[in-house]
Amino acid sequence: MAIRNIIKEGDPMLNKVCRPVEKFDGRLAQLIDDMAETMKEANGVGLAAPQVGVLRRVVVIDVGDDHGLIELVNPEIVEHSGEQECVEGCLSSPGQYGITKRPAKVKVRGFSRSGEPVEVDGEELLATACCHEIDHLNGILFKTHVLRMLDPDEVGGK
């Protein structure tokens, strides 16, 4: 496993739509392992492949709940309901946070690293993280959904 560089806002790579994964092989497994390690090292709750310079539909998420590390290949939101406002940030926009409006619940379908079907039901932070990371796969940054950016002192000076 290796820590990869996280691309920062302003890099055109973050505005591109990712291609679906077609090969479920060792290279994909290595990418997922590297992404999980990179996310953990950066104290993030999610990371999408384009954030590490790979234009493929792959995300990792770990919000610290019973789901543990979630690996999703070619994920799609197939159901969503309700809405919530929450504080959202991004590893590609360090130190920047905003209040966003997202679904309160989502159902996501995708595949595991080995090509097996995976389904994730997410609420609250997990729902937000799923939406956020899948947006990255479509070239969309969280600021698109921001109702109001926060000053650093509003989020504990992070």
Write down the pTM of the prediction.
0.95
The 10s digit of each residue's pLDDT in 36-64 is 999 999 999 999 999 999 999 999 999 99
What are phi and psi for residue 34, nearest 5 degrees? Answer: -65, -40
The mean pLDDT value for 2-26 works out to 97
Predicted pLDDT at 57:
98
Task: Give the single-character DSSP code of 12.
Answer: G
Q: Is the pLDDT of residue 11 over 60?
A: yes
Q: Domains of the chain (ranges plus CATH)?
A: 12-155 (3.90.45.10)
* Alpha helices per DSSP H over the chain: 26-41, 124-137
The rounded distance, in Å, linking the Cα atoms of 52 and 141 is: 14
> Active-site positions?
133
pLDDT range class, residue 156, cuts 50, 70, 90: low
